[in-house]
Structure 1
């Protein structure tokens, strides 16, 4: 039974934290944070979100991703209300050297993934949910807070359809429908039925609520945790700037902090705030991941004459899986060209078809990477370019993704310019500490794919379509 009175007091405290931190910073997104206070305080302190606050790395902690990363003042205030962050540290938000950046990054240890470029959090959550359901087989849930403006991003709908395809009943999205975006009303405003109609048509369970009614919100979470065989989306009608008359449902306040004088007025409106109250986050179930050994299997011998580097890539994935059992392979419906299908045929339980949705594939890979897996993801190198924002953002989450782009360069000839990966090397060279590898034959491919698996960090491997002669020997070594 939830304690509504206590949750209301905690919500008031969280609003206080949001206001003092953003006003001290002189910038930030208080109005976008205020709209989702009850949604998050009820999740955290209503007995739904399970997390060992003093054991951040615990494998069965629930996961929370703020896809609307600009609501970071809310995220930090939640953890302050849980006792993990002091009021003094909150006042360092957005200052150089602070863990509390303007948009969340893992510099703050309770952040699962760096967000702020909209439309990416649901894909990351999908990867974490895939990991729990199909790989580690753990009972944790993944929650994703979404903004209504970002629901026009195509990547959201890529994630929505794939999550339904994989029946991810351990994934819960929460849309904060506060009506106002950066410059005015969003595409559907407060028409929460419009969101419900579209999302349910993709095969999700949908629940609509008043996003400031704690009882309704708690009932929605309870229902979401009982859904089987499909993911759940909670669609909440909220008021941007809730709790502050100056900001409530007012345009032109997005991304703006209120002044000290305005804050003083706002705090008077809040009334008495119990600054000593703290919420309790329940502990998750104690579990262990069972050790699953890989049975002995026959390795694939290297061709002695000619082999396409893309085929050598597929062969090598099979050959090194016993040494790197954290490998998981994703492909964008071109596995018979990238030759990731070779791995799929041997180890189907570690292969996930992502279909032609490259942006979601990269986000999903990030989610898997952040749960300790080594994702190898492949498509034509030309088509990875459309996912560059997801690739770019992944570097800020300490990611460990291996990108493989096949059919690179002009050598594919007759297929034409649309299929030629010409920009890929330049694209990946712009990334911090990213490694770019371009093997020229089967042996160098075999060696470099294994080096990529062993190396922590993002790696791009470029492969070609046609057979090329073997020019290296087995004794040759390659170093990153």
Structure 2
């Protein structure tokens, strides 16, 4: 069996195991998993560098399933890598199982909870930013995206910021299987609609047949060799690939197959291929910034100090005392006073512009890499990123959000600037 044949067989195994793990509870998304099986088979066999025995290895690549409903595929990957047993695979969606319907960090190989679409890629931007500017290590961040979630505005905030920062350590893989939950997606199989948009944002874009392992291999090699900008691989795939009853059929989303045994037989039966996923090379450690004595600002009784100014002073002082503290702001740093930190510690300051979803997502991504992020904007505008904040809690993410101008304290500017929700909370 040559390399390509082995990848094809592994892809079939991932499909079979996606069907098998859904069958006991009759709950899950097997067809969404089956479309991306070949893409992931080649990735884990040749390009992903990850030590499953040491998930905290700082040199590990990161694999984020932005299309978190394809969790059967992710767990099938973990089985193929020897990280979970076949017995555990079959506990998928059972009470008490680590293998939840959408991935969470209950598993040590999962960085963040996904499943609320449009979040995985923005968070991955934060991870890739940490790799470039903070850790200064050569790990790569790979993101499996669904075509339906490409309608989310947060995805395009991520596309813009990743290109702006030149994140050539980031590769997005769009599984264009044409079908969403209801039916056909906005662009169907019009791959050019995705590549042209990505290119307009400054990404390197590659279009492939997502079931041709040779094309997949070449695309990954091209992504790895591309410098100065991120890469998106736009892959035409078939939802439910390999099983005639559900292949490219609307109405099969999020449903167990009616005849799982027949489907497994149609795919050639179960396999037990074990993949030796390549561990990261070298012994590099994350960069560490110098830290001195922590000297917090002092105030005298009767001093009148704006709370936002006190925030900026305290944050800058904290940054001087702790080299792991980083700050992000949504282009209002002269008002939140995050600019004080930016001037004192420019290497650890990140301007996220008016993109509050990306602001919070980047903070979540950076804490994956053990940095301590403080993200600031007007309190009212954090509401735009509410779902990211909600999912950050599911991820048990260690982030700090500072909203200025809360409540009615900015009355002159009118209700658009007031975080009146804070009063209800």
Tell me whether the two structures share a fold, i.e. TM-score over 0.5: yes
Residues 1:228 and 1:297: Cα distance change in structure 2 (over 3 Å): farther
| Shift in Å, 1:370 | 1.3
Q: Which residue of 1 aligns with 2:348?
A: 350
Q: Which residue of 1 aligns with 2:199?
A: 200
Q: Contact 1:31/1:253 (CA < 8 Å) preserved in 2?
A: yes
| Shift in Å, 1:296 | 7.5
Unpaired stretches in structure 1, ≥5 consecutive residues: 428-480
Q: SS of the residue aligned with 2:174?
A: strand
Q: Contact 1:385/1:424 (CA < 8 Å) preserved in 2?
A: no
Q: SS of the residue aligned with 1:89?
A: helix
Quick check: 1:31 aligned with 2:28? Answer: no
| Shift in Å, 1:424 | 3.1
Over residues 224-243 of structure 1, what are the superposed CA-to-partner deviations in whole Å (9 max), with x where a residue is unaligned?
00111111100000000001
Quick check: 1:310 aligned with 2:308? Answer: yes
Tell me how far apart the structure 2 counterparts of residues 200 and 426 of structure 1 sit (CA, whole Å). Answer: 44
Tell me how far apart the structure 2 counterparts of residues 411 and 271 of structure 1 sit (CA, whole Å). Answer: 66
Alignment equivalent of 1:267, drawn from 264, 269, 284: 264
| Shift in Å, 1:110 | 1.4
Tell me how far apart the structure 1 counterparts of residues 286 and 408 of structure 2 sit (CA, whole Å). Answer: 46
| Shift in Å, 1:264 | 1.6
| Shift in Å, 1:374 | 0.8
| Shift in Å, 1:324 | 2.3
Q: Which residue of 2 aligns with 1:8?
A: 8
Bigger Cα Rg = 1
Residues 1:88 and 1:251: Cα distance change in structure 2 (over 3 Å): same
Residues 1:324 and 1:424: Cα distance change in structure 2 (over 3 Å): farther
Residues 1:273 and 1:288: Cα distance change in structure 2 (over 3 Å): same
Q: How many residues align?
A: 422
Q: SS of the residue aligned with 1:411?
A: coil
Tell me how far apart the structure 1 counterparts of residues 242 and 318 of structure 2 sit (CA, whole Å). Answer: 56
Q: Contact 1:63/1:143 (CA < 8 Å) preserved in 2?
A: yes
Q: Contact 2:29/2:72 (CA < 8 Å) preserved in 1?
A: yes
Tell me how far apart the structure 2 counterparts of residues 426 and 12 of structure 1 sit (CA, whole Å). Answer: 52
Tell me how far apart the structure 2 counterparts of residues 104 and 299 of structure 1 sit (CA, whole Å). Answer: 40
Tell me how far apart the structure 2 counterparts of residues 145 and 425 of structure 1 sit (CA, whole Å). Answer: 39
Tell me how far apart the structure 2 counterparts of residues 119 and 141 of structure 1 sit (CA, whole Å). Answer: 20
Q: SS of the residue aligned with 2:412?
A: helix
Following TM superposition, where does structure 1 have runs of at least 4 consecutive aligned residues deviating by more than 6 angstroms? 295-299
Alignment equivalent of 1:288, drawn from 249, 261, 285: 285
Moved more, 321-330 or 73-82: 321-330
Please list, as runs of the form range in 1=range in 2, the aligned pairs for 1:442-461 lying within 5 A after superposition.
none
Q: Contact 1:104/1:115 (CA < 8 Å) preserved in 2?
A: yes
Tell me how far apart the structure 2 counterparts of residues 425 and 119 of structure 1 sit (CA, whole Å). Answer: 29
| Shift in Å, 1:318 | 1.1
Please list, as runs of the form range in 1=range in 2, the aligned pairs for 1:329-408 lying within 5 A after superposition.
329-408=327-406
Q: TM-score, normalised by structure 1?
A: 0.86
| Shift in Å, 1:289 | 2.8
Moved more, 200-209 or 415-424: 415-424
Q: Contact 2:291/2:322 (CA < 8 Å) preserved in 1?
A: no
| Shift in Å, 1:338 | 0.4
Tell me how far apart the structure 2 counterparts of residues 413 and 82 of structure 1 sit (CA, whole Å). Answer: 57
Alignment equivalent of 1:322, drawn from 312, 320, 323: 320
Unpaired stretches in structure 2, ≥5 consecutive residues: none
Q: Contact 2:127/2:369 (CA < 8 Å) preserved in 1?
A: yes
Tell me how far apart the structure 2 counterparts of residues 77 and 5 of structure 1 sit (CA, whole Å). Answer: 19
Q: Contact 2:62/2:139 (CA < 8 Å) preserved in 1?
A: yes
Over residues 73-129 of structure 1, what are the superposed CA-to-partner deviations in whole Å (9 max), with x where a residue is unaligned?
000001101111111111100001000000000112211110000000011100110
Q: Which residue of 1 aligns with 2:421?
A: 423
Tell me how far apart the structure 2 counterparts of residues 164 and 302 of structure 1 sit (CA, whole Å). Answer: 43
Q: SS of the residue aligned with 2:172?
A: strand
| Shift in Å, 1:290 | 4.5
Q: Which residue of 2 aligns with 1:178?
A: 177
Residues 1:133 and 1:75: Cα distance change in structure 2 (over 3 Å): same
| Shift in Å, 1:302 | 4.0
Tell me how far apart the structure 1 counterparts of residues 321 and 152 of structure 2 sit (CA, whole Å). Answer: 39
Tell me how far apart the structure 1 counterparts of residues 335 and 64 of structure 2 sit (CA, whole Å). Answer: 34
Tell me how far apart the structure 1 counterparts of residues 84 and 245 of structure 2 sit (CA, whole Å). Answer: 28
Tell me how far apart the structure 2 counterparts of residues 296 and 15 of structure 1 sit (CA, whole Å). Answer: 55
Q: TM-score, normalised by structure 2?
A: 0.96
Q: Contact 2:294/2:318 (CA < 8 Å) preserved in 1?
A: no
